[in-house]
């Protein structure tokens, strides 16, 4: 259990914050970046067993973008601040690397497999981002829900 | 052509001033307090202007005269543009009272003045002698007003907007954000018709005002590393500008400050590269010991990246050599650290700091916004980075397994 927490909570959090520092995200966003990265990864973990890696990345990136959009409206900053570090754990870096490596050493079939997996995962991320981005901006502001309540 | 601010001996120019204001005591009312400017072409005095500033952020051109023989050469316009630039900081609007003479009115209106009101028979009542121009008696005084905020040079606005866009694009903003920022800035400074075309590494902009001034510019923005702090700051600046809290001068200064913000301390970058490598390596299945090794690999790798960045080495060299570096360090750790480890896990962890995350996420976002061209370019940029890394890794692994590894096996066999 402790191992699981270290691997799946502390690692993505630390990693996301580390990359937030590398991309020079302003200091006040470090905590939110860490939380977003962790949540995205946890959703990925939960979804990857019952579904597939690509579906899991879809759900994970959807979560990341939704939280990022809420925070963007709250903190008045570009969504990129949260999105780039938050999606980082989901990027199929390993698969793309394997694809490129297999290509370099001449294992074309293996390269095709990992490349195809990478494309599927990337497409999952694309779908996640697109579906979350197409929700109109007002929904993420607090006023929208307050108004709805008062209307009722 | 140059314009001078005249502080002393203003009365020397009385003859000239009398041309447009023919009564001496009327001139004396403003000559002491007003600012006098003279426009020279070579040594010849062409245009003279006197401006007074009143308390509530308003100023008035009290006298504007162009010497005989220099009319119609654009000197008057140049002077008015100069004055509106000069008083934009201090004043919101500029007034001018002139006689009802079509030619003067036409010049003022061309420079952006709008007629506000007329004082009927002003010149008849206040001047002892009747004034005749082209054989017509001048009677009414026409007041014209120009809002100085609107008097922003189209070129400066577009250049500023383009600069803001360039800084955003260079530091890893999405295409649509660059586009939106440029449009907003132009709109705020009254350049209404703007067409922009933003690519991942270039900005094309074309602006038009009143159908007569057209200005277009193209800027090449090489792909480079991301700095999201600058993106956030420019975004804040754009918000402030849109809210009308800044004029162009302040905005230009602020943008200049943002562009020269100090970079992160090197040791912070190096340590976070190490932490990122080990954390994500562990996430991707490297064992605890491998991740600890990956921390050092990440640190050394980033020292190389910073060094290469300072010497402006090409991306290909940075990544291929980065791959070689990662692999050789992983192999060394594998050989010399007496714990059973996999080279593979360390390599995967080690390449994490090189993974082009910004390019990848931005590529996806651009494709999601239907900016396919930029999205594709960025995606290829991201994919090629992987190919370079893999080339480096493959090279180093090949050398290891064929020669050094072979030698190692021989040595162990011999021993």
Query: Structural domain boundaries of chain A?
Result: 2-151
Shared domain for B33 and B116, answered yes or no, is yes
Considering B259, B290, B311, which residue would you say is the last residue of a domain?
B259
Shared domain for B158 and B243, answered yes or no, is yes
SS3 B244: coil
CB pairs under 8 A between A and B: 149
Q: Do B368 and A130 touch (CB under 8 A)?
A: yes
Shared domain for B387 and B404, answered yes or no, is yes
Q: Which of B61, B65, B113 is nearest to B87 (CA)?
A: B61
Q: Which of B126, B122, B127, B117 is nearest to B139 (CA)?
A: B122
Range of the domain at B97: 2-150
Considering B238, B259, B280, which residue would you say is the last residue of a domain?
B259
What residues in A contact B239, CB-CB < 8 Å?
76
State whether residue A14 sits within 8 Å of chain B by CB. Answer: yes
Q: Which of B105, B62, B106, B104 is nearest to B83 (CA)?
A: B62
Q: Which of B269, B408, B390, B377 is nearest to B320 (CA)?
A: B390
Shared domain for B189 and B231, answered yes or no, is yes
When pLDDT is cut at 50, 70 and 90, the band that residue A150 belongs to is low
Q: Are B258 and B167 in contact (CB under 8 A)?
A: yes
The CATH number of whichever domain residue B40 belongs to comes to 3.40.630.30
pTM comes to: 0.69
Q: Do B232 and A26 touch (CB under 8 A)?
A: yes
Alpha-carbon distance A99 to nearest alpha carbon in chain B (angstroms): 9
Give B359: exposed, middle or buried? Use CB within 10 Å, 0-12, 13-18, 19+.
buried
**Average pLDDT score over residue span A88-108:** 82
**Average pLDDT score over residue span A24-46:** 90
Considering B84, B115, B150, which residue would you say is the last residue of a domain?
B150
Shared domain for B405 and B289, answered yes or no, is yes
Shared domain for B132 and B158, answered yes or no, is no
| pLDDT exceeds cutoff 60 at A152 | no
Shared domain for B402 and B276, answered yes or no, is yes
Shared domain for B28 and B65, answered yes or no, is yes
B-chain residue closest to A29, CA distance: B229
List the single residue in B355, B364, B387 with the smallest CB-CB distance to A129: B364
What is the mean pLDDT of each successive set of 10 residues along chain B, which is 415 residues long?
82 82 82 86 85 84 84 78 77 84 82 83 82 81 79 79 92 88 85 86 85 83 84 89 72 89 86 90 83 90 90 89 90 81 84 85 84 89 86 84 64 55
Q: Do A18 and B273 touch (CB under 8 A)?
A: yes
The question of ipTM being above 0.95 is answered as no
Terminal-residue alpha carbon distance, chain A: 46
- Number of continuous H segments (helices) and E segments (strands) in chain A: 8, 0
Quick one: pLDDT at residue B301? Answer: 92
Quick one: pLDDT at residue B67? Answer: 83
SS3 A135: coil
Shared domain for B75 and B99, answered yes or no, is yes
For A118-131, write each residue's pLDDT tens digit.
889 888 988 888 88
Rg (CA), chain B: 34
Shared domain for B347 and B288, answered yes or no, is yes
What residues in B contact A69, CB-CB < 8 Å?
none
Shared domain for B128 and B184, answered yes or no, is no
Task: Tell me how many domains chain B contains.
Answer: 3
Q: Do B383 and A96 touch (CB under 8 A)?
A: yes
What residues in A contact B273, CB-CB < 8 Å?
18, 22
């Amino acid at each position: 259990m402790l191992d699981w927490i270290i691997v799946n909570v502390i690692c993505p959090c630390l990693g996301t914050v580390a990359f937030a520092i590398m991309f020079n995200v302003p200091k006040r966003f470090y905590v939110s970046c860490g939380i977003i990265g962790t949540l995205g990864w946890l959703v990925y973990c939960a979804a990857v067993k019952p579904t597939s890696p690509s579906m899991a990345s879809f759900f994970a990136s959807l979560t990341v973008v939704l939280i990022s959009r809420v925070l963007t409206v709250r903190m008045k900053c570009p969504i990129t601040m949260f999105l780039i570090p938050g999606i980082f754990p989901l990027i199929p870096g390993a698969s793309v690397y394997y694809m490129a490596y297999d290509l370099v050493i001449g294992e074309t079939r293996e390269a095709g497999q990992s490349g195809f997996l990478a494309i599927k995962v990337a497409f999952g991320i694309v779908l996640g981002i697109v579906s979350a981005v197409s929700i109109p901006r007002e929904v993420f502001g607090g006023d929208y829900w307050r108004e709805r309540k008062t209307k009722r | 052509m140059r314009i001078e601010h005249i502080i002393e001996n203003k009365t020397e120019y009385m003859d000239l001033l009398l041309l447009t204001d023919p009564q001496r005591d009327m001139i004396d009312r403003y000559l002491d307090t007003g600012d006098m400017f003279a426009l020279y072409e070579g040594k010849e005095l062409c245009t003279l202007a006197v401006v007074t500033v009143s308390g509530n952020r308003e100023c008035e051109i009290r006298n504007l005269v162009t010497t005989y023989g220099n009319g119609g050469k654009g000197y008057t316009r140049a002077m008015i543009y100069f004055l509106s630039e000069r008083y934009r900081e201090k004043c919101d609007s500029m007034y001018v009272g002139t006689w009802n003479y079509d030619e003067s009115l036409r010049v003022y209106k061309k420079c952006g003045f709008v007629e506000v009101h007329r004082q009927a028979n002003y010149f008849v009542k206040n001047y002892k002698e009747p004034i005749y121009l082209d054989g017509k008696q001048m009677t009414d005084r026409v007041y014209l007003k120009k809002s100085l905020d609107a008097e922003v040079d189209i070129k400066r606005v577009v250049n500023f907007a383009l600069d803001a866009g360039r800084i955003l694009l260079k530091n890893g903003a999405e295409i649509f954000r660059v586009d939106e920022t440029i449009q907003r800035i132009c709109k705020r400074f009254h350049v209404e018709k703007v067409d922009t075309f933003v690519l991942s590494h270039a900005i094309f902009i074309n602006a038009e005002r009143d159908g007569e001034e057209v200005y277009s510019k193209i800027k090449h923005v090489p792909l480079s590393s991301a700095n999201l702090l600058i993106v956030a700051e420019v975004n804040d600046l754009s918000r402030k500008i849109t809210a009308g809290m800044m004029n162009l001068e302040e905005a230009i200064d602020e943008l200049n400050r943002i562009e020269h913000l100090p970079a992160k301390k090197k040791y912070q970058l190096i340590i976070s590269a190490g932490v990122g490598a080990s954390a994500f390596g562990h996430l991707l299945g490297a064992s605890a010991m491998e991740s600890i090794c990956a921390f050092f690999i990440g640190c050394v790798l980033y020292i190389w990246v910073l060094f290469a960045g300072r010497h402006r080495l090409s991306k290909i060299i940075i990544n291929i050599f980065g791959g070689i570096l990662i692999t050789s360090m992983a192999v060394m750790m594998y050989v010399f650290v007496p714990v059973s480890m996999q080279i593979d896990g360390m390599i995967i962890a080690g390449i994490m700091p090189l993974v082009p995350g910004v390019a990848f996420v931005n590529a996806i976002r651009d494709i999601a916004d239907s900016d396919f061209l930029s999205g594709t370019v960025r995606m290829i940029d991201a994919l090629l980075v992987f190919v370079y890394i893999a080339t480096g890794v493959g090279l180093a692994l090949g050398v290891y397994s064929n020669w050094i590894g072979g030698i190692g096996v021989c040595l162990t066999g011999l021993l």
